[in-house]
Amino acid sequence: MATDLARARLLTGGEAMVEAMRQIDPDVVPVYPITPQTPIIQGYAKAIADGRAHGEMINVESEHSAMSAAIAAAAAGARTMTATSSQGLALMAEVVYIAASMRAPVVMALGNRALSGPINIHCDHSDSMLIRDSGAIQLFAESAQEAYDLTVLAPRLAEHPDVLLPVIVCVDGFTITHSAEPVELVADEQVRAFVGEYRIPHPLLDIANPTTQGPFAMPDYYYELRRQQAAAIEGSLAWFEEIAAELQELTGRRCGAVETYRLDGAKRALVCLGSTAGTAKDVVDELRDAGEEVGLLRICSYRPFPADEIRTALADVDDAIVLDRADSPGGGPPLAVEVGYAAGPVRSHVYGLGGRDLHPADLRDVFAGTAGHYVGLRSEPCPA
């Protein structure tokens, strides 16, 4: 079920995430500002100043410090959230790995933005791909509404005793963070009841039961701890679906690891992450109306990667076309490589780097096989 327009408010994705943060009311929020994440932390700071949120907002000196403080707060026993983008995530990357390995259930908003260089502020997914293997969960929203829904869901997933991992809610910079859409909110008290109390197995401030956290691990234990981390994120996929079903009872909307759109009987299908699915759905509708057997598979849970669901969804598709909003210079684009690994040979296109628009006409060309590998690039040769 879609957003109920009669009950919706007009909010940007950033504002919608602020509303979710205000309702969750985390204990600690260490942040450093960076475009296009800024409206999220500005809006949250205003909620504190207005007495509508009660967290301890720490203005740290860098994103490296933001995640370091977030890990410490989460380990101490405080529900902790933060937010970043692009270069901020690049600087934070070292500590994102530490957060995952210390199993710190920090929730982070990521306004996806191209990595330098050249320096740019607009959307692509190269920042997310940089921390692909960090062990953190990454959920990609399609819209402001889903940015809100996933943010409400995130603490439950992060703090689940079988998960205990950072959860990053990825929202396309500007396209979602700064664009206003109708967003339906759940009542404050329902969100509070949904997220519940923050509980972790070994809070550092439980001084009656002292623990060592983040211990050195030599060759006799490092491998075991990496395996444990892999099991936690693999297992989180089932918990994501279960928590999403519980949230659906409040919202009437269902987040899922993957979303299939008019995929029944489709011979050709696009596969993508994030807001591009909105454009893709319009093009699929248009081509379906013209009698073409096309569909869309949108991946919401990029980490963990729902390989089985993707294989099943694409089982009857002859031509799976993967759209990557990031490149791997000298190698295969990350999503294409991984969908190919899960579901067999795919067609690969890169698009939208540094905020380059992707037009419906581009996607019609992609379906028709008349687009070059780099969609929307000037003078890009098309396949014969």
Partner 1 sequence: MGGLKPWTALEPGGVVVRDDAVQPVTGGWRTGLRPEADLSLCVDCLLCWLYCPDSAVKLDGAAFAGFDLDHCKGCELCAAVCPTGSIRMVRDGD
The footprint of partner 1 on this chain (CB under 8 A) covers a number of residues equal to: 23
201 interacts with partner 1 by CB under 8 A: yes
Question: Within positions 58 to 77, which residues make up the interface with partner 1, using CB under 8 A?
Answer: none
Question: By the 8 A CB rule, do 260 and 297 touch?
Answer: yes
Question: By the 8 A CB rule, do 294 and 288 touch?
Answer: yes
Residue 324 to residues 42, 111, 352, Cα–Cα distance (Å): 30, 17, 8
- Judged by CB under 8 A, the residue of 210, 291, 331, 383 near partner 1 is 210
Kindly state the smallest distance separating residue 135's Cβ from partner 1, in Å.
11
Q: How many CB atoms lie within 10 A of CB 90?
A: 18
* Cα 333–chain centre separation: 18
Nearer to partner 1, 162 or 246 (CB): 162
- CA atoms in the 13 A half-sphere facing the CB of 196: 12
Beta bridge partners of residue 319, listed in sequence order: 268
Nearer to partner 1, 162 or 282 (CB): 162
Nearer to partner 1, 219 or 329 (CB): 219
- CA atoms in the 13 A half-sphere facing the CB of 79: 22
Nearer to partner 1, 103 or 356 (CB): 103
Kindly state the smallest distance separating residue 202's Cβ from partner 1, in Å.
5
202 interacts with partner 1 by CB under 8 A: yes
Q: Distance (Å, rounded) from C-alpha 64 to C-alpha 328?
A: 25
Kindly state the smallest distance separating residue 203's Cβ from partner 1, in Å.
10
Question: Within positions 143 to 172, which residues make up the interface with partner 1, using CB under 8 A?
Answer: 164
Kindly state the smallest distance separating residue 200's Cβ from partner 1, in Å.
9
Q: Mask of contacts with partner 1, 87-116, x by CB under 8 A?
A: --------------xxxx------------
Beta bridge partners of residue 258, listed in sequence order: 299
199 interacts with partner 1 by CB under 8 A: no
Q: Amino acid letter at 116? A: S
Cα Rg, the chain, nearest whole Å: 20
Kindly state the smallest distance separating residue 230's Cβ from partner 1, in Å.
9
Nearer to partner 1, 85 or 236 (CB): 236
3-class SS of residue 245:
helix
Kindly state the smallest distance separating residue 101's Cβ from partner 1, in Å.
6
297 phi/psi in degrees, rounded to 5? -120, 115
Kindly state the smallest distance separating residue 224's Cβ from partner 1, in Å.
4
Rounded to the nearest 5 degrees, what angle is found at the Cα of 15, between the Cα atoms of 14 and 19?
A: 120
Q: How many CB atoms lie within 10 A of CB 319?
A: 17
Question: Within positions 211 to 270, which residues make up the interface with partner 1, using CB under 8 A?
Answer: 211-215, 217, 220-221, 224-225, 227-228, 231-232
The residues binding partner 1 (CB under 8 A) are 101-104, 164, 201-202, 209-215, 217, 220-221, 224-225, 227-228, 231-232
